[in-house]
Structure formats: C-alpha cells, structure tokens
Structure 1
Amino acid sequence: MAPAPPGSQIAPLPLNLPFRIISKTIGQGAYASIRKACPLHATNPVIAVKFINKEHAFKQGRLTPKQLKLEIVLHSHLGKHQNIIHCVGSGEDTIWTWIAMELAEGGDLFDKIEADEGVGEDIAHFYFTQLVSAVSFMHSKGIAHRDIKPENVLLSGQGDLKLADFGLAALFKKDGNLRLCNTVCGSPPYIAPEIVSGRRSKRADMLDTGYLANVSDIWSCGVVLFVLLVGNTPWDEPTMRSEEYKEYVETNGRTTDELWQKLPPEIVSLLRGMLKVNPASRFTLDEIRTHPWFTKSNPYLSPSGTNANPIGLATQMLSQLRIDFSQDPTASQRGGQSQDPDVMDVDFFPRRSNAHPANVNMISSTQPETPVAETPFDWERPPRLGTHDGISASQPVAGDTHRATYQSQPLTQTPFLSQFPSSTQDLLSQDPSLTQFTSNPSVPLTLTQAARKFHDVLPNYSLARFLSPLSLSLLIPLLVEALHKLGVPVPPFSEEHIEQWERDGEASVRVKMADGRRQGLNGHVVVEKGIFGGERMCEVRFVKASGDPLEWRRFFKRVVVSVGDVVLRPG
C-alpha cells in the first residue's frame, strides 16, 4: 500500500460540503482518509466521508481518474443492501474527490477476532452467511468486488456484517454477457490462483488471458471463512512457493496441515468446493447456499438475515479475545516467513503493498515522532472509561490525592486492578479492553446488564490498547525495547525527546513494516497520560492505519506480552 498522502492533513478540505465534518481521521487508504460527518443543521445521521487527494493519487500514486470514477459509479449502482456499505453521494473540487457513505458503527469485524484462534462455528457461520448475501447481491448486479479480505469487512452498530471498499470492483456482466477481467489485483493470501498464475507478457499488472471476477470472489470468500474459523490464512499466497498451498494442491485438498485438522468434515467439504484451483469446477453461489453446513440453523441469525442476538453475540466474541502472557513473543508463527525472497507483487495495482520484495526485511521506516511533526498524528481518540470529564490527559487534577507510587519508580510487581481503590476498580471494570488480559476471560455483568446494542458490549474502537500505571518516561523505553526485540528498529531518541513527551503528555511511535504475510502493516503506537478512575496512568493505543486487522492484532499481542509486567490486569 502506498504511503499516506503527503500534506493531506494540511491541505484544506473541500468547501461548500453538504455536511459538516465532526471527527478527526477514523480510517485511511492508499490515497484517502476517512472522517465522520453529519448534516449541516442536524446531529444525525452520522456518515463516513472518504477524501481522496487527487494530486497524490494520480501523479504520485497508481490510481487513475477513470478508476476513481468507476469506483463511484459501481458503488452507487449497487444501491442498498443490509450487508453492504451504502453510497450516499459524491463530489469534488480541484484537490479532492469525496465519497459519502454509510458509517459502519461497529468498526472492523476482524479487529474483534483473536489471531490464531478464530471464532466459534456459530459465529463464523453467521458472518459467512451475511458475506455470501452481500456478494450474491453484488453479483446479481453484474459487479464483482475483487478485494474481499478482512480489512474490507466492517460491522453495523448491531453487529451485522458490512462489506466495504469498492476501489477494485469491476463489471463482469453487462447486458447479460460475461466480461473477462485482466487486471492483476488483490491481496496475496486472499487472491485466487488463476489471477496469480496467468501469463503477463506485456504488462506486469495485466493478464494475457482474462478471468471471471465473480468466480475469483468465491475463492476469496472461502479464505475469509477459513480465517473466521481458525484466525489465520491457509497460505501466504496461492503459488507453489507456499508450502501449505503446495501440499493442498498435491493432496487435492486433503492436506495434513494442522489448521485444517481443527475443522469439522462438513466445513472442510464446503471449503474444498470453494477453493477449487480450477475456476470451472469451483462452487457457485447456488452450490454454496445449498450446502448442508450453510443451510444449518444458527441461533444468531434471524429469518431476515440480521443479528438475532446482538448482546449475546458481542459477549461471546469479547470473551474469546485473550492474551497469553506465558507465550514467547519473539517465537515465529505459522506463515511468518516465506522461503522465496522473490515474493510476487500482486497488491500494487492500483495500490502497492509496503511488503514489496525490497522491503520485506527492511522494516526501518519506523521512527518515534511527536504529535507536532510534519505529518501529525490526527486519528480520532476513542472514548475513555473512568476518566475525569473535561480534563485533559496531560493536566494534573487540582487537589489530586491519587497514589503516585508507580509513576516515580519502576514496577516491582505486575499491576492488578485489585491494588487500587474500590471506586477505581468499579469504573475500570467497565472497560471491555481489560477482559483480554485475564487468564480466563469473562465479560463483567456491568457491561452486559445495561447493554442495548452490540457495540455497548463490544465497542467500535479497537481493543488493541492497554493501561499502565507506569510514567510515560519509563514506559516509552520499554515499548521501544519491545519493538527492537520483534525486529522493528526505532532510531535512538534523547532525554530531550522524553522531556518534551512528558510536557505534552503524549508520544507517538510510527510503525511501518511488513507483516507475517509480507503485506504492508502501518500505524502508530500512541502513549497518552490520563486520569482513570481518579488514578494517573498511561493509555497505550495501537492505531492501525493500513493492513490486515488480524496481523495488527497479532503484532499488538506480541508487544503486550513483551512488556507484560507493566500492563494493568483485572484481578
């Protein structure tokens, strides 16, 4: 994926917009940033607006005016469907093109799924059913998505799936006639093999013989189902360079891979049908919808295809998020490295992955930066539970009598919530992010009793965050050391930097690297002072700018385990 638009946060946004911007950045793409907005003279509905910096996209990037126009036309043509992000409108000025869309109030689906674990069969079935409904609707309109992957699967406020990002969508049927696509696009773990293996004699991004984009969508849906079930992809890429894929092909889908061994036979039967290497023999949507596993009853699925039990579903998913502090954070994981340095590059048109072969072992773009740097950290901060209303994170509270033991010296023991006053315990026990740090995760009744919607239990913001009573000046060096141990080099910083961060009450470390699948993974590790339930602590947030949400979750877990002794835990 290309870097964020240079100066895009500084260039003035379009004037005379038919809505008001009400947030900082909530999402980012190769050439775009996304913010929340609402009508000029009302407080709702709240929508999401994607702003594309045209100069960056057309001149410095690989996006063309034709592709951008096609995205808007196809997204608008789709109309409304309960499992697809709805396009509200679009416009442009000399600098920007904007696309207004329905806001996914529930956030990222795969941000709420444990890496290397997945979700239970019922939850996987529920979301797979909704994904198939969305893709079926698109295909009925003659449109293929061509970029189905976790990054593009969002949630509504009630926890229903919403398929997003139509930047690579294509028309595969017009006037009843099928049209072949020739563009090489997609993400290696999710892309269909016919796209990867096709001849490219004229251009690296164009196949000599086209493919049916709707059939390649089926393959991607199969990989997504696999990831829902086990929390990992079946292979790095669908080529013989991947040992897992090679065995899958050579055994005709009867692989001995341990991840496949976890799956019940009826699910394996469906996956084998969807992941047929020969597109002509791959399951159709009708064959998927009539498969015995697909047609089974589901307690979360209403007759209309929506979430029948939002609170129960959110509670179950939250209880499955768990961080094991006994693990070795530096141990290599399945699929972490490729045997062949000459990795294929299929994610570059029109968006290039930062995991280009030249960058696979060069994760050195990471650097600490203050929020007042040339490219300021401009992401919206999630709400804080247990904080003093109206008080800045960096400001002391007048008459503050909180304990400062942890703030002035290194920790001698792991901080537990039970060590703090009962009032602090009561407030912070309502923070859903704390549940992932218990040895046997369970969701507090205080979270579920008053809940009315899915996101009342499982929030729309990322749970890749933790609290620590350690001071910022002590915490930053520990985080930087953890990043070094994980192979993410951070340039040295001085005492002056730390003193400045202490004065500002916040610091941001930029993370730019190749993930375990050699795809771009970018974001920030943000540390901010705050008053939580009357106690002064630091909040550490891992803010993903781009990349696979499960890979970002995996990265977060490794850093947390590395600094585990300073992470506030329940109990």
Structure 2
Amino acid sequence: MALQSQLDPLPRDLPFRIISKTIGRGAYASIKKAIPPEATTPVFAVKFIHKAYAVKHGRISAKQIAMEVSLHSHIGQHPNIIEWFATGEDAIWKWIAMEYAEGGDLFDKIEADVGVSEDIAHFYFTQLISGVHYMHSKGVGHRDIKPENILLSDSGNLKIADFGLATLFQYQGKTKLSTTMCGSPPYIAPEVISCQKGTQTGLEKSSGYSANLVDIWSCGVVLFVLLVGNTPWDQPTKDSWEFEDYVNQKGRSTDELWKKLPSSVLSLLRGMMSVEPSSRFNFEHIKRHPWYTRKNPLLSPDGKMSDPLHLATKMLENLRIDFSQKPSASQNSRQSQSAMDVDMDGGWESRFASTQPEKPINDILFDWERPPRVNANGFSASQPTNARDGGICTMTNGAAGDPFATLADEPSMSQFTPAPSVPLSLTQHARRFRDIVPNYSLTRFFSHVPANHLLQLLSDALHQLNVAVPSVPQMQGRDHAAFIKVKTLDGRQCGLSGDIVVDTYVSGEVELLEVRFVKVKGDPLEWRRFFKNVVILCKEGVYVPSA
C-alpha cells in the first residue's frame, strides 16, 4: 500500500482548478488551494483523503470519513466554523472543498509560556464559544477541540476546523452518549478516559460520555492556554500531579500556572472544567459569567473584530525569541528515548481515535507550497559587513548598501528584535489584519551563512534536543535547498512531527537562506516551542536585524 500510495494520482475531471502545492497535510490527506474552473475567485481549500491508506493506517473506518463530510456540511454555515462547499471521490481519493482559512493557525501567533493579553484571549474565546454553541444546537459534538483545529480567516476571525472525530449526539429530540476514546490528552475531558478499563481519572468507569460536555471542557482548556501559553496538565488522570492537585484542591490548584491567570476568570474555568460532568457549565452559565460579559475594546456587538489592526499589532509584538535564554526544558522531556524510535502504537495515542496517524504517505504530491517570496530583487550584490552578538548577523534596518534591507518589512523578523516591536512600515500602510499578521507560519528564520554550515547547525541543534535526524538531510527531488523530516514528542509527551524546509533566495552575488518549520502533526504551540529551541541553538546562523 505504501508504495502504491506514492504512485496514485489525484482525481481527474475535478470541478475546480488546483492552484498550489500542499498548504496543509495529514498522514493520509493533502490540502491544496483551488479556484472555480472558469474564474480566479474565490480561492478555497480542498482536502484530498487517500481512502484506503486512511482506513489501513488511520484507525478510522470508511463510515467515519463519510460522517466527517455529512456533519461538516450540516454545520458549516456559521462565521466561526470553516464553511463546507462540496465533496466528491473516485476509486482512490475522496475530496472535500471548503473555505480557505487564509490566516493559518491561531496558536502559531501565540507565544509559548506567555499567552496573549486578556482582551485578545477574551475576543477569541467568545468566537470559539459562538461556533461551538451553534454546532451543539445542530446536535453535533466536535470531540477534538484543540489549538491544532483552531484557524483564522484572512481578517483574523476564528474558524473551527477538522470534523474527522465529530459525532451526532442529538437527533430528533433524542440524545445519545459516546464511547469512542478520542481527542488530544491535554485537552480531553476525564470522563472520556473513564470509558476505558484500567484508567485512573478519579471517576468510575462509565457507560459513555456526553460529547457536548466534552467540548465545554476542551474550550476551557483552550482558554487557559490562550491566557498563559501552556496547558494546565499533560493528561487528566492520576498520572498527572497537576491534575491530581486540581482535583484534590477542588479546582483551586496550587500550580504556578494558575497564579498567572486573572482572578476574574478562575470561576469560569472551574465551571467549564468541572471534573463531574453533571456539574459542568453549559452555554447559559458561560454567557452569564462576568468575565464573559466583560467589556472588550476589541469586540464589536456582532462578535467581530472592532480594531483588527490594533489586535494584529499586539499579537505580533507578543512574539519574541530571546537568544540569551536556554532551550525550554519542557521540550521532549523523555530524554532517554530517541525520537526515531517513538512508536505511538503502544502509547497514549493508540487509545485515541485519530485523524492524524503516524505513518504518512511519502508522496511528491505532498511537497510544500512556498510562502510569498521576500523581495529578493531588492537585495544588493554586496555581502553583509557586520556580525556580532555571539555570531548572530545583525543589520541596520533599511541601511544604505544593506543587501538584506528588504527584510526590515518582513513580519516574521519582528520576533528577533531585542524589544518587541512591529515595523512602522507595516502598521502605517496596513488596511487589514493580514497586512500585519501574515497568512503564512511565523515559525521561520533567515540565515546569512553557507548552506552546509547552516545544515550542520540545524543537525547539531536537533541532536541536542534528542531529535534523531538522518546524517544527510534530504536534498534530492524537491524544489528546496534541503528538507529535514522531524518526529519527536512534545513537552506533554504527545506526538509532534513536521518538516524543516530550507529554501534559497539569490540576488546577484548574495545568497540568503530561509528556514521554515512546517508542522504536519501536533499542537501548534508546542511546535512553536520546538522552533524556538532550535533557533536559540542555531543563533550563530540566524540573521537578526539590529535595533
């Protein structure tokens, strides 16, 4: 099957035109951009699912794939839910056309271990609740609410995605319980685990769980992460001391993370994350809570963004990489185990239904689309002349003769500045959210060192983080200077995988390398933490604009 999957072409006679390489990827699915056959707009996303590979390696059935299409089409008419357009299939592939979330991952724009301001967290939380409430009103439970499935529109509004684990919990007035164990350990509700024998959550084994109440719990964890940049525990079982402390203290945890939260939000979180499902908040409780009803200058009466440029600026300013710090100790804390030997089939993930199995199809169809190019034609032919700060190449923004001056306006460069700042050139000319916060991932950096040197730095950094990599990065058969596959565990012992893609930009005699960290599977906040750790270890090869 693996060999065959490499040769399977995408369906022919599609009712649209594909206009991109891969913009997103699961282990058996590829997402590409498309347009109508006779027009250039609108641009939408198409998810191509390899049906046989999904059933064999994805631990899901053909019925579940059909259920994803059915339920998504049932609820995809809300401003905070990715809109469903159409579906089709051939003998090998099933495709789903849907709204293109051009803003990318919300949590790609949130700093790990920091979070966002209370106003920004409140804004996105209200949009999340709006979308989930609508979903539940249609009898559909998502069952996999987590940062990986929370995207942004091009205007910066929240979009709930991925209905591969959704279920119909209410139909024609009748409610049913779920028994499938699914979700991501840090975001899952304890009663989901209690459906299985041999688990220790503090709850007795149950005959099932309410999918809607599980979503409420997960929304509470997402709010927690928005505010502090980390999850409250790695899993809601007795194996986690943080969760045990939370249970024993009746929601008044002694963990330091809880002390970072605004006092006014604590009772809301305790209500949403009540260990006993029958005591958990419903939407009426949530929407009456003082923290939910608080005034927010970012929020318009209709739930939209009242000041998108201010919100975008604050989000970009909040991202920062401090080269004086050491890599985060929370990353891949299972130090004794090589990431190349990580096998999720015997661990946590084997107990969870998953739309992201660990055996991806290695297929040229899944080559990544490059983001908008930096204006390489603006580079001069001269080499950089000043390097300092421990080998970090620094330049003066816009300095005369600076071959990298055009990078001064690159949004992702702001995270490397000594003090959080957004270039005035971005804010002065911005007209919409995406003019400041780009639609591509911010987990990338630029390098001024030769490619061989950079690849050695990357390889050394990954080894220091106990991430096993091939001795020679893949450099054949792709449109990139180098391509390194990554598979590891994040700080919560959940699977984390993706690609480190090195692209070359040339202008005259100047060569600049762009290094992109493209997540395939895992929490985007954990992926950002991993990215930061690698960057800090590679600081010698990182181009940084001077203040």
TM-score for both structures, normalised by structure 2: 0.91
The 5 Å alignment of 1:66-215 reads: 66-200=63-197, 209-215=207-213
Give the Cα separation in 2 of the matches to 1:23 and 1:128: 32
**Correspondence 1:244-255 to 2 at 5 A:** 244-255=242-253
Q: Which whole-Å deviations, capped at 9, do the CAs of 1:35-54 have from their partners, x for residues lacking one? A: 00000010000000000001
Equivalence for 1:271: 269
Deviations 1:330-359, CA, capped at 9 Å, x for gaps:
x522894599x99544663144665xxxxx
For the structure 1 residues 193 and 177, does the alpha-carbon distance in structure 2 shift closer, same or farther, using more than 3 Å as the test? same
Matching of residue 403 in structure 1 with residue 383 in structure 2: yes
Q: What code does the residue aligned with 1:546 have?
A: K
Distance 2:354 2:220 in 1: 24
- Which structure 1 residue ranges, 5 or more long, are not aligned? 202-206, 355-364, 367-372, 390-396
Aligned-pair CA distance for 1:386: 2.5
Structure 2 counterpart of 1:563 = 538
- TM-aligned CA distance change 1:412 to 1:64, over 3 Å: closer
**Which whole-Å CA distance do the structure 1 matches of 2:448 and 2:176 have between them?**
59
> More deviation in 482-491 or 289-298?
482-491
Partner in structure 2 of residue 461 of structure 1: 440
1:491 corresponds to which of 470, 486, 510? 470
Which residue in the other structure is 2:506 paired with? 531
The answer to whether the 8 Å contact 2:501/2:516 transfers is yes
Please tell me the residue identity of whatever aligns with 1:544. K
Give 1:531 shift.
2.9
Assess, with a 3 A threshold, how the Cα gap between structure 1 residues 516 and 375 changes in structure 2: closer, same or farther: farther
Inter-partner Cα distance in structure 2 for 1:338 and 1:538: 31
- How far apart, CA to CA, are the structure 1 residues paired with 2:510 and 2:120? 37
CA distance in 2, matches of 1:426, 1:352: 41
Amino acid at match of 1:415: C
Q: Aligned partners of 2:349 and 2:384: how far apart in 1?
A: 52
The answer to whether the Cα contact below 8 Å between 2:381 and 2:403 also exists between their aligned partners in 1 is no
Alpha-carbon RMSD across the aligned residues, in angstroms, is 2.9
Q: Is the 8 A contact 2:30 2:366 kept in 1?
A: no
Question: 1:83 & 1:534 partners in 2: Cα distance?
Answer: 47
**Aligned pair 1:333/2:308, yes or no?**
no
Partner of 1:40: 37
Greater CA deviation, 38-47 or 296-305?
296-305
Shift of 1:187: 0.5
- Structure 1 counterpart of 2:483: 508
1:388 aligned onto 2:368: no
Aligned CA distance change for structure 1 residues 259 and 7 (closer, same or farther; 3 Å): farther
Residue number among 434, 444, 448 corresponding to 2:427 in the alignment: 448
Distance 1:218 1:212 in 2: 10
1:477 matches 2:456? yes
- SS of the equivalent of 1:146 reads coil
| Corresponding residue of 1:543 | 518
Q: Distance in 2 between matches of 1:411 and 1:474?
A: 18
Q: Which moved more, 1:296-305 or 1:341-350?
A: 341-350
Name the CA distance, whole Å, in 1 between partners of 2:477 and 2:90: 41
Q: Larger deviation: 559-568 or 112-121?
A: 559-568
Give the counterpart letter for 2:498 in structure 1: G
Letter matched to residue 134 of structure 2: F
Distance in 1 (CA, whole Å) between partners of 2:477 and 2:66 is 46
Q: What's the CA shift for 1:402? A: 2.4
1:375-423 CA-to-partner distances (Å, cap 9, x unmatched) read 586011101222129xxxxxxx9xx8322779xx999832112296456
2:339 is aligned to none
- The answer (yes or no) to whether the contact 1:314–1:454 under 8 Å persists in 2 is yes
**3-state secondary structure, aligned to 2:514:** strand
Call closer, same or farther: CA 1:231–1:133 in 2, change over 3 Å: same
**Equivalent residue in structure 2 for 1:298, among 284, 296, 302:** 296
- Among 235, 238, 262, the alignment partner of 1:237 is 235
Q: Distance in 2 between matches of 1:502 and 1:72?
A: 34
User: Equivalents in 1 of 2:478, 2:27: separation in Å?
Assistant: 33
Instruction: Measure how far apart 1:523 and its partner are.
Output: 0.9
Give the structure 1 partner of residue 391 of structure 2.
413
Letter in 2 for 1:380: E
TM-score for the superposition, normalised by structure 1: 0.87
Question: Hey, what's the Cα distance between the residues in 1 that align with 2:77 and 2:409?
Answer: 36
**For the Cα contact (< 8 Å) 1:242–1:338, is it kept in 2?**
no
Aligned mate of 1:311, from 289, 302, 309: 309
Query: Using the alignment, how far apart are the partners of 1:281 and 1:313 within structure 2?
Result: 35
**Contact (CA 8 Å) 1:184, 1:349: kept in 2 or not?**
yes
Which residue number corresponds to residue 357 of structure 1? Answer: none
Contact 1:385 1:532 in 2 (8 A): no
Partner of 2:353: 349
